[in-house]
Amino acid sequence: MQHRICLIEDDPIIGEALSGRLDFEGFACDWYRDGKSARRGLDQRRYSVVVSDINLPDTSGEELFRDLVDSGKVLAPFIFITGYGAIDQAVRLLKLGAHDYVTKPFNVAELIGKIRGLCERQLLAANATPRLGISTSMRNIEGLLPRLSASRSAVLISGESGVGKEEVARALHRAADAEGKTPFVAVNCGAIPENLIESELFGHEKGAFTGAERERRGVFEQADSGSLFLDEIGEMPPSMQVKLLRAIQDRAVVRVGGATPHKLDIRLICATHHDLKAMVEQGDFREDLYYRIHVIHLHVPPLRERQEDILWLAALFLDQRASSGEARRMLTADAERALTRYPWPGNVRELQHCIERASVLSLTPLLNAENLFGASGALPAETDTLTQPLSDHLQECERAYIRRALSECGGRIADTAALLGISRKNLWEKMRKLGMAEN
């Protein structure tokens, strides 16, 4: 696999030297001389690494990077080239999510080493067994987690109810603590009565209110040194939003009835199914709190937009039930067709409950469409399929077959291509043609 590098450099001497060296080292290199052309290239092509000068003729590398981050686009690792006087700016970019920087005059061999290391890690990640899904969108999120885990920046996860936002949060925590030595504390902000939420978050001292017979640590203190996941942050009462903002700003909490601040070191992860920006405009959510928790944004698409994950998740849920001691169940071909054609308004949570219900009620090891969805089987009427043009029907069959192969191979492209008897390049071409992969 040849990695493609995006080089953004207006200096003709540095640009020509670097692009030539990258070509010599076996990389494909696209050299852009200004921010406008670079942005156009980044929108159109996928790169393994971006190397950008901070000073560009029409903009700055920082402005370009901020614009890309704000757009929500999944970015390749950025390495910035900076002069000695702009190191503070480079450090600021690292906090925003950039990977690294080098100062002029820099060692070209060292820069090539950084680029090669990033490419090798991406290759390992691409061949690793996925934990969140095999669709392009979920693999992109999973690929970001190692970089995010190195930072304590706040992360906001958005998406419809049931898409798996907590699973993404847990995966981020695992990426930061593979040995499981630090706590992961999750709390649903919408499930706590308003009169108890301050005590739940920040704790209370003995005698702070009626019933407070002993001191209690809140979830912020429980998550110290680890990760705190505030689910449905959009349900936070307005009266608590200002107190939450202060706790995030100060990295400290004061228990109810107390006066001593308790300093904390936590990774804050928030999630919502609401449009928080719209809530800010309507006055239902504090703008300053929004920007505090919206440092890094991950959007989890609904299950209907990542159909490749449906059979992979179904197999995962069946494996989990089998590992807990239940008899192993298998899906029939009509069950798989029914699962992939159903729109899943309840997303992953609905799929999990569907598999659980069918497993409990089925009298045989094989689960068919009727076990999953009742008599209707969630399949379109037979006459509906006959209205399809033959080419569309063949594409649908090919798409479903590739999804099944991807699921059986854990999303690994090389193994899937071998199973299908085609080359990796041919598989990628087919997936692009069928709308199963990003351009």
Measure the CA–CA gap between 122 and 141, rounded to whole angstroms: 13
Measure the CA–CA gap between 439 and 436, rounded to whole angstroms: 10
CA 48 to chain centre: 18
**For residue 281, is it left (φ>0), alpha (ψ between -120 and 50) or beta?**
alpha
Q: Output the pLDDT for position 385.
A: 45
Inter-residue contact 134 to 410 (CB < 8 Å) = yes
Instruction: Please state, in angstroms and as integers, the Cα–Cα distance from residue 41 to each residue in 7, 59, 69, 382, following that order.
Output: 10, 16, 16, 45
CATH class of 136-301: alpha beta
Measure the CA–CA gap between 424 and 414, rounded to whole angstroms: 6
Q: Output the pLDDT for position 438.
A: 47
Say which residue the tokens 């949570």 belong to: 349
Inter-residue contact 203 to 222 (CB < 8 Å) = no
CA triplet 141, 145, 148: central angle to 5 degrees?
120
Instruction: Please state, in angstroms and as integers, the Cα–Cα distance from residue 77 to each residue in 47, 50, 69, following that order.
Output: 9, 6, 12
Nearest to 302 by CA among 353, 339, 347: 347
Instruction: Please state, in angstroms and as integers, the Cα–Cα distance from residue 306 to each residue in 231, 353, 438, following that order.
Output: 23, 19, 12
Positions in the chain short of pLDDT 50? 379-385, 438-439
DSSP string, 407-422: HHTTT-HHHHHHHHTS
- Phi and psi torsions of 138, nearest 5°: -75, -35
Single-letter amino acid code for the residue at 313: L
Fold (topology level) of 380-439: Arc Repressor Mutant, subunit A (1.10.10)
Q: Could you give the 3-state DSSP secondary structure of residue 11?
A: coil
| 330-331 vs 203-204, strand pairing mode | unpaired
Q: Output the pLDDT for position 138.
A: 92
Nearest to 224 by CA among 162, 179, 182, 282: 182
CATH topology match: 4-127 vs 136-301: yes
CATH class of 4-127: alpha beta
Q: Output the pLDDT for position 92.
A: 80
CA 207 to chain centre: 43
Single-letter amino acid code for the residue at 238: P
- CATH number of the domain located at residue range(s) 305-379 in this protein: 1.10.8.60
| 216-217 vs 203-204, strand pairing mode | antiparallel
Domain assignments of the chain as residue spans, ordered by start: 4-127, 136-301, 305-379, 380-439
Nearest to 96 by CA among 61, 125, 120, 123: 61
Q: Output the pLDDT for position 240.
A: 92
Structure tokens at 108: 């070209």
Helices and strands (DSSP H and E) totals, the chain: 20, 16
Residue environment code for 62-74, b if the CB has 16+ CB neighbours within 10 A, otherwise e: bebbeebbeeeeb
Measure the CA–CA gap between 231 and 320, rounded to whole angstroms: 24
Q: Output the pLDDT for position 85.
A: 62
Say which residue the tokens 């494996």 belong to: 319
Q: Output the pLDDT for position 23.
A: 92
